Amino acid sequence: MAAPIALPETFARAVAGLRSAAPRPEILLEEVGAPQRLAPYAFALSATVLRDGDEVATGRLILLHDPAGHEAWRGTLRLVTYVTAELEVDLAADPLLPGVGWTWLTDALEAQDARHRAIGGTITQTLSTRFGELAGPPAAGDIEIRASWTPLDDDLAPHLLAWCAMLASTAGLPPPGVTALPERRPAGA
C-alpha cells in the first residue's frame, strides 16, 4: 500500500477555505471529481440552485494549483467556473445581458473582498425554439458564464461566497433576507 501523498500547504489551505464557507440554503454544494490534466493539483465543487424547489441554475467551481506557478495565471492558484441558468426569453434576448452577467461575478468578488487578478471569461446567451419531434415547450433562453481568476491569497472562503452570490444572481434569487412577492395574476385569469 502506497503512503498517502502530502498535499502542498497552499493547496490544502485553499481547499479548506472552499469547504469552510456556508452558502445560502437555496444553493446545494457537492464535492465532485476535478479534471486531472489541467494542473498538478485540482479540487472541484458543483452547485445546484433551487427556487421554490425547482432547479434553476447549476455551476461548477474548480480550484487548480501548480506549485511552480503559471505565467498566464500570474500565480500558483486558479479558480475556474462554469455556470448555466434558464432565463425568460425576453431577458435572454436582452443585448445588455452579457455585461450584466459579468458584473454579477465582478461585483460579488468585490463585495466579498475576494482579492484577485488576471480575471477573464465569456458570457453566452442563447435562445432555443423547438421544432419537429422536439416541438412542444415554448421558446427557452439560457445564460452561460465561463470565467477564471487568480486569488491573491490561499483563503478561498470569500471566493466561494462570491461565487455563490453570482450563482444566486444568475438564478434570479432575491437578496438574502428579502422575500420575493408572488406574481400577480390579472383579474379573471
Q: Which residues of the chain have pLDDT under 70?
A: 1-5, 177-189
**pLDDT value at residue 175:** 80
**pLDDT value at residue 2:** 47
Name the residue type at position 34. Answer: A
pLDDT, the chain, mean: 89
**pLDDT value at residue 187:** 56
**pLDDT value at residue 3:** 44
Tens of pLDDT, residues 145-182 = 999 999 999 999 999 999 999 999 999 998 876 665 56
- Cell numbers for 74: 500570474
**pLDDT value at residue 10:** 95
**pLDDT value at residue 34:** 93
Long-range contacts made by residues 155-158, C-beta under 8 angstroms, separation at least 24? 155/13, 155/14, 155/17, 156/14, 156/15, 156/17, 156/18, 156/21, 156/63, 156/77, 156/79, 157/17, 157/18, 157/20, 157/21, 158/21, 158/112, 158/113, 158/114
